Amino acid sequence: MADREAFDAYVRERWAPLLRTAMLLTGDRHSAEDLVQETLIRAAQHWSRVEPATADAYVRRILYTRSVDAWRWRRHQPDPVDGAREENRLTAHDPEEVETRLTLAAALRRLTPRQRAVLVARFYEDRTELQTARVLGCSVNTVKSQTRHALERLRVLAPELADTFGRKETAR
């Protein structure tokens, strides 16, 4: 019973951050909600063995893995997210910021799931290369190369965002 209460408390506290990360990984709110639910179902099955200090890392690892697994399963299907559909409602009112977000979201959807996962972990969640490698279960060199390839691809897909990415990359 204590495990269930701990899990329920974790879900109440971490649902919103997990959903934001999942939205970046999937590019779609409905798919993101499904991904978070699948992730939490898997985490709940083994919650009694999860250390409270590492619970978030454990759940996020499942989230990233499920995201890539789902892509592999669907990769031969047509992309259900097309540009004609209304994007997720944004709360920003600045037209330039909205345009930047829409452009970035469209470009992110065109990256591979692994590239998306690396960018989300590195830049959205502000993880180090080592932390990202641990979360994704790959080497640090893979994180570096996937980051490099993903940023190059974003520059091709959305050259209008070059100033946004260029400043941050050259500062590092």
Is residue 167 scored above 90 in pLDDT? no
Residues 6+ away with beta carbon under 8 Å from 122: 129, 132, 143, 147
pLDDT for 28-53, tens place per residue?
A: 899 899 999 999 999 999 899 988 89
Half-sphere exposure of 163 (CA within 13 A, CB side): 2
Give Cα 165 to chain centroid, integer Å. 18
Q: Which of 82, 137, 80 is nearest to 105 (CA)?
A: 82
* pLDDT value of residue 78: 52
What's the CA gap between 99 and 154, in Å, rounded?
15
Amino acid at 102: L
Task: Please say whether the beta carbons of 42 and 124 come within 8 A.
Answer: no
pLDDT for 89-144, tens place per residue?
A: 444 466 777 777 788 888 888 888 889 889 988 988 889 999 999 888 899 999 99
Q: What are the residue boundaries of the structural domains of the chain, listed by start?
A: 1-89, 92-172
Residues 6+ away with beta carbon under 8 Å from 100: 161, 164
CATH (residue range 1-89): 1.10.1740
Q: Domain 92-172 - what CATH class?
A: mainly alpha
